[in-house]
Protein backbone atom coordinates (compact mmCIF):
# COMPACT_ATOMS: atom_id res chain seq x y z
CA UNK A 1 0.00 0.00 0.00
CA UNK A 2 1.39 3.40 -1.00
CA UNK A 3 0.77 6.31 1.32
CA UNK A 4 -0.17 9.50 -0.53
CA UNK A 5 2.05 12.39 0.50
CA UNK A 6 0.74 15.92 0.70
CA UNK A 7 2.57 19.20 0.51
CA UNK A 8 1.36 21.47 3.29
CA UNK A 9 2.55 24.52 1.36
CA UNK A 10 1.79 23.86 -2.31
CA UNK A 11 -1.56 22.13 -1.94
CA UNK A 12 -2.76 21.66 1.62
CA UNK A 13 -5.74 19.29 1.54
CA UNK A 14 -7.66 21.34 4.12
CA UNK A 15 -7.87 24.22 1.58
CA UNK A 16 -9.63 22.05 -1.00
CA UNK A 17 -13.41 21.65 -1.38
CA UNK A 18 -14.09 19.13 -4.10
CA UNK A 19 -11.90 20.24 -7.00
CA UNK A 20 -11.79 23.92 -5.94
CA UNK A 21 -8.91 25.38 -3.96
CA UNK A 22 -9.67 28.18 -1.52
CA UNK A 23 -7.43 30.68 -3.35
CA UNK A 24 -9.39 30.07 -6.58
CA UNK A 25 -12.70 30.56 -4.77
CA UNK A 26 -11.32 33.80 -3.33
CA UNK A 27 -10.47 35.03 -6.84
CA UNK A 28 -14.00 34.17 -8.00
CA UNK A 29 -15.58 36.04 -5.09
CA UNK A 30 -13.20 38.94 -4.43
CA UNK A 31 -11.33 39.30 -7.74
CA UNK A 32 -7.68 38.80 -8.63
CA UNK A 33 -6.41 42.14 -7.31
CA UNK A 34 -8.00 41.76 -3.87
CA UNK A 35 -6.81 38.16 -3.62
CA UNK A 36 -3.27 39.23 -4.49
CA UNK A 37 -3.45 41.90 -1.76
CA UNK A 38 -4.63 39.22 0.69
CA UNK A 39 -1.66 37.07 -0.36
CA UNK A 40 0.72 39.93 0.43
CA UNK A 41 -0.84 40.29 3.89
CA UNK A 42 -0.70 36.52 4.47
CA UNK A 43 3.01 36.53 3.57
CA UNK A 44 3.57 39.22 6.20
CA UNK A 45 1.84 37.01 8.78
CA UNK A 46 4.11 34.05 8.05
CA UNK A 47 7.23 36.22 8.20
CA UNK A 48 6.05 37.81 11.44
CA UNK A 49 5.61 34.49 13.24
CA UNK A 50 8.69 32.90 11.68
CA UNK A 51 10.93 31.18 14.25
CA UNK A 52 8.15 31.23 16.85
CA UNK A 53 7.33 27.54 16.37
CA UNK A 54 10.87 26.25 15.93
CA UNK A 55 14.34 27.49 15.09
CA UNK A 56 14.29 27.08 11.33
CA UNK A 57 10.61 27.69 10.49
CA UNK A 58 11.15 26.23 7.02
CA UNK A 59 7.43 25.75 6.46
CA UNK A 60 6.58 29.34 7.42
CA UNK A 61 9.32 30.58 5.07
CA UNK A 62 7.98 28.42 2.23
CA UNK A 63 4.45 29.69 2.86
CA UNK A 64 5.65 33.30 2.86
CA UNK A 65 7.42 32.72 -0.46
CA UNK A 66 4.28 31.08 -1.90
CA UNK A 67 2.09 34.02 -0.92
CA UNK A 68 4.62 36.65 -2.05
CA UNK A 69 4.87 35.00 -5.45
CA UNK A 70 1.10 34.82 -5.75
CA UNK A 71 0.79 38.49 -4.74
CA UNK A 72 3.00 39.40 -7.72
CA UNK A 73 0.88 37.43 -10.19
CA UNK A 74 3.21 34.41 -10.22
CA UNK A 75 0.99 31.47 -9.23
CA UNK A 76 3.38 28.95 -7.60
CA UNK A 77 1.05 26.08 -8.50
CA UNK A 78 1.84 26.53 -12.19
CA UNK A 79 5.04 25.22 -13.69
CA UNK A 80 7.00 28.03 -15.31
CA UNK A 81 8.35 27.58 -18.88
CA UNK A 82 11.92 26.33 -18.77
CA UNK A 83 11.69 25.46 -15.09
CA UNK A 84 12.58 21.98 -13.90
CA UNK A 85 10.78 22.43 -10.58
CA UNK A 86 7.20 23.23 -9.78
CA UNK A 87 8.05 25.87 -7.19
CA UNK A 88 10.83 27.67 -5.38
State the pTM of this model: 0.77
Q: Report the alpha-carbon distance of residue 65 to residue 43 in Å, rounded.
A: 7
Q: Where are the domains of the chain?
A: 32-75
What is the per-residue pLDDT across 15-61, written as a single tens digit (0 to 9) for each?
Answer: 788 999 999 999 999 999 999 999 999 999 999 998 888 788 898 99
pLDDT at 23 (0 to 100)? 95
**Contact predicate 25/17, CB 8 Å:** yes
Amino acid sequence: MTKKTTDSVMQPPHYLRGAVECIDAMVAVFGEENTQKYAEIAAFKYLWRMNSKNETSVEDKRKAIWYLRYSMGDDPRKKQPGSTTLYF
